[in-house]
Amino acid sequence: MSEEKKPEERKKRRTATEAASKIGPMVKASIGGTVQAREEGKPLAYSFICCCYDEIIRAMDVVPIWTENYAGVCGAKRDAQRFLERAESENFSRSLCTYALCGLGFDAWREELGEMPPEAPWGGQARPDMMLGSGQMLCDPRNKWYQAAQHYMPDVPIYDVGLPWPPYEDDYDYREVQDYYVKYIVRELKGLVKFLEKHTGKKMDWERLSGLVDLTDKTWNLIWEAYELRRAVPTPMGTGDAMNTMVPMVFMMGTQECYDYYKDLYDELKLKIANKEGVIPDEKYRLIWGGGLPSWFALSDFNYFNSKGAVFPVETTYRMIEATYNFDMDLSKISDPLEHIAWRWVKFWTYWHDKARKRPGSHPDVERLIKYIEDYKIDGIVMHEAFSCRSWHVGLIWQLNLLKKVYRDIPSLILESDIVDISSYNEVDTRAKIDAFIDTLEAVKR
Amino acid sequence: MPEKVALKGLAAADRYYQDYGFRARELKKQGQKVIGYLCAFVPAELITAAGLVPFRIKGDVNEPITKADTEMETIVCPLVRSCFDMALKGNYEFLDGLVVPHACDSICRTYDVWKYTLDLPYAHFINMPHGTGDASLDFYGDILNTFRASLAKFTGKEISDQALAGAIKLHNQNRAKVKELYELRKASPPLISGEELTKVLIAAMSLPVEESIEMLGSVIAEVKGRGEVSARKPARIMVIGAQVDDIAFIKLIEDSGAWVVADDLCPGAREFLSSVDVTTDPVAGLAERYLRKIKCGRTYREMEGNYEEYLEDRFGHIGRMIDDFGVDGVVLYIYKYCDPFGFEVPQIKSYVEAKGTPVLYLEDEYSMSTIGRLRTRIQAFLEMLVK
């Protein structure tokens, strides 16, 4: 690697919780673990977060390589540019998802060398035995990325799981269609099990899978309860930390380690609340991170907010769980583990529909914002528009407009940058925007 | 029908193209309901069968996007932004409803923006799956039946199997006409230019299917009747991309000294050269056609066989068209922020080049402002081709 391309050294970001500070080493160990697993001949699968196949791959002893996570790590270490440039040289547009571009650039390089690219962050991303994509309303790269990666790894098979959920519509309720959605998802998950059995030479242990499904329900509920503790004033944990504590939620679901992590987090937050220990001692403004993935290379912006007296007790991003006991059906009565997973998926994505139905002109995404605004005593909304990702970053303006229409006007700020591509980021401009937003919050308070 | 353009053939197509939406506006005045839709993945047959007028929403490369930016992020594909901008500026004020398919992120993720901002009497999202396996096909059939029921609720009248079969027949006839038109491109020089053909197909998107069939028929008769009118040009080009709903880019290539004789575009070969099979359950035929027969980057085709066979399954139709239409070079024309096509560029490029056909890859922004830059690249490509 040339001298000028070496990543800029960054100081470790200050976290409010012990739990958040544990994440860096955990991720490093996880990535290192995949490289080791490769050496040990364990089956490895490129995987996406939020695809509800966590318990299935765990039950099959398949080691997931979370490709979005690795791109995020490259971004956070400010060492993604060389992989993005490599992807660009392969004729991938720089306007595409930069997680995918970083991964594809890395893959192209690794496959060309037959070994990890030089000084690959945290030992590099191991070559997979299979790739598990998914078709959702969420994100095209979930099926296009791995398909494109086959250009460099034509021998690596893909299974693409169809995982739809019912959209929110005016002329029918999701309950009218949910059965056929679940039926389809179950068929798709069965196909995944068959695929894994074929490529691992191992049979699914259905009893083990059922155990992991139950453990996941328990973990979802525990996370929800832990995160709800953040309603406290002062809040014991902000979104900056939540961007760390999401790691077990999305990368370790279906493991005891994940459950134990959130038990520790829960206990830590309880203790902080008892001691009246907040993220900052004197909260002036309570904000919601209302949409968009963070710039992984600029998480210290959350600390900058803190320095201005602002905290984030809640966020919509990476809160990929609900308390399952709040669903309108009792999941514990579904004995088939694949059906259980499918119902949990559909109930999660339709969770806010009923609330929206009750407020004329509203929408589930906006209802979620309203609920959080009220529950967490929120003064303002911050969102982030990452230029390379249409999944989470389209509809932000509309949500704010609709919120104002059906609820009330609330100060808002949309930051603009990217998840991985640091060339889109300007710290001075970003902080000037934050300063101006703080002035607005102050004016509204007065 | 009064107010219908009295012109025929290419002149009629030109009229409908220049004043896009002209006919739908007239039909609306006559009391018909017009349903706007985005993308080739909306089964217009169902809209026709419901007694409604399907109308494809298009953008305008000549119109700077302004109003849309107040409601929709600029990271959305510029074609979708332009379409939305046109709608906000009142170009489609005659619409009674909107149908949006799960095509790509830029379309799917903006459905709510469209729906809540335009606030039309009818809106529906077709949650099309990505996969093409049997489970996906069955699920898609359910999705189409939900759409069918939703349209029936809107009109107050069930869509019978007979009505749907009739609509399928009409739309197949329309496609057959387009196929006939494509045959006229095979001659050297082609009997119809790429610019003319593009104009005709865009005009057809704005018409009720019966009128489109009539227009296409008159175009075919005119083109056949005029004989060889095209001047010889040294290169025959195929254009591959997403939705090209303006003649500007095709004209640019042809003005630079080549014929555009083939494409994998919408509107174009991708959406017109496959028909709906006549099936006992007409919805099953629709599902099969839209999910499996239209080969578009938005659909995930499962891999069968080895990787080379997989590429052949995904891009073989491109290879066949290159042979059948005597294509000398391919222009891969991709919009910025286009995920389904953007991720396919290295694979398509290497597939086509492996067949011995040169490829020019261009990324564009759906705006006339880039035309100068594109012209330079195209001229250089054509020079290379004819050397």
Testing the interface with B: which of A89, A94, A130, A137 to mutate, by most B Cβ within 10 A?
Answer: A137
For the segment A326-360, what is each residue's pLDDT rounded down to a tens digit? 999 999 999 999 999 999 999 999 999 999 999 99
What is the per-residue pLDDT for B33? 98
Residue B228 pLDDT grade (very low, low, confident, very high; cuts 50, 70, 90): low
Is A394 close to B139, i.e. CB distance below 8 A? Answer: no
Q: For residue B344, which residues of chain A lie inside 8 Å, CB to CB? A: 144, 147-148
Is A363 close to B105, i.e. CB distance below 8 A? Answer: no
What is the average per-residue pLDDT within A47-69?
96
Burial of A339: CB neighbours in 10 Å, binned 0-12, 13-18, 19+: middle
Q: Which residue has the higher pLDDT, B286 or A3?
A: B286
Is A150 close to B307, i.e. CB distance below 8 A? Answer: yes
Distance (Å, whole) CA A359 – CA A172? 16
Is the pLDDT reported for residue A283 higher than 50? yes
Is the pLDDT reported for residue B361 higher than 90? yes
- The DSSP symbol for B99 reads E
For the segment B323-343, what is each residue's pLDDT rounded down to a tens digit? 999 999 999 999 999 999 999
Output the six-digit token pair for A417. Answer: 């940058």
What is the per-residue pLDDT for B386? 87
Is the pLDDT reported for residue A197 higher than 80? yes
CATH code of the domain occupying B229-386: 3.40.50.11900
C-alpha A299 chain-centroid distance: 15
Residue extent(s) of CATH 3.40.50.11900 domains in chain B: 229-386
What is the per-residue pLDDT for B124? 98
Q: For residue A132, which residues of chain B lie inside 8 Å, CB to CB? A: none
Least confident of A8-12, A18-22, A155-159, A219-223: A8-12
Distance (Å, whole) CA A203 – CA A186? 18
For the segment B17-72, what is each residue's pLDDT rounded down to a tens digit? 999 999 999 999 999 999 999 999 999 999 999 999 999 999 999 999 999 999 99
Q: For residue A148, which residues of chain B lie inside 8 Å, CB to CB? A: 343-344, 346-347
Q: Is the CB of A398 inside 8 Å of chain B's CB atoms?
A: yes
Q: Mean pLDDT, chain B, as a whole number?
A: 96
Where are any strands of DSSP class E within A78-147? 130-135
Distance of residue B103 Cα from the nearest chain A Cα, in angstroms: 9
Distance (Å, whole) CA B377 – CA B380? 5
Is the pLDDT reported for residue A8 higher than 80? no
- For chain A positions 72-91, those within 8 Å of chain B (CB to CB) are 90-91
Q: ipTM of the assembly?
A: 0.96
What is the average per-residue pLDDT within A412-441?
96
Give the other-Cβ count within 10 Å of B387's Cβ.
5
Where are any strands of DSSP class E within A82-138? 130-135
Is the pLDDT reported for residue B229 higher than 70? no
Dihedral, B14, B18, B22, B23 alpha carbons, nearest 10: 20
Give the other-Cβ count within 10 Å of B67's Cβ.
15
For the segment A120-150, what is each residue's pLDDT rounded down to a tens digit? 999 999 999 999 999 888 899 999 999 999 9
Q: For residue A93, which residues of chain B lie inside 8 Å, CB to CB? A: 334, 336-338, 342, 345, 363
**What residues does A259 pair with on adjacent strands?**
none
What is the average per-residue pLDDT within A369-396?
96
**What residues does A414 pair with on adjacent strands?**
A383
For the segment B64-98, what is each residue's pLDDT rounded down to a tens digit? 999 999 999 999 999 999 999 999 999 999 999 99
Distance (Å, whole) CA B173 – CA B111? 31
- For chain A positions 93-122, those within 8 Å of chain B (CB to CB) are 93, 95-97, 100
Least confident of A129-138, A179-188, A259-268: A129-138
Nearest chain B residue (CA) to A189 = B135
- Is the domain spanning B11-163 CATH 1.10.287.610? The answer is no
Return the number of CB contacts < 8 Å for A and B. Answer: 174
What is the per-residue pLDDT for A3? 38
For the segment A409-423, what is each residue's pLDDT rounded down to a tens digit? 999 999 999 999 999
Is the pLDDT reported for residue B230 higher than 90? no
Query: A260 and A365 in contact (C-beta within 8 Å)?
Result: no
Nearest to A137 among B127, B338, B361 (CB): B127
Q: Is the CB of A191 inside 8 Å of chain B's CB atoms?
A: yes
What is the per-residue pLDDT for A11? 64
Output the six-digit token pair for A344. Answer: 């949990």
Distance of residue A214 Cα from the nearest chain B Cα, in angstroms: 26
Is A162 close to B363, i.e. CB distance below 8 A? Answer: no
What is the average per-residue pLDDT within A246-255?
96
Taking the CA atoms of A336, A338, A341 and A343 in sequence, report the sign of the dihedral they define: negative
Residue extent(s) of CATH 3.40.50.11890 domains in chain B: 11-163
At B324, give phi and psi (nearest 5°). -65, -30
Distance (Å, whole) CA A385 – CA A377? 24
Dihedral, B286, B288, B291, B293 alpha carbons, nearest 10: -110
What is the per-residue pLDDT for A9? 47
Nearest chain A residue (CA) to B78 = A95
What is the per-residue pLDDT for B307? 96
What is the per-residue pLDDT for A1? 37
Q: For residue A171, which residues of chain B lie inside 8 Å, CB to CB? A: 124, 150, 153-154
Output the six-digit token pair for B212. Answer: 């489109």
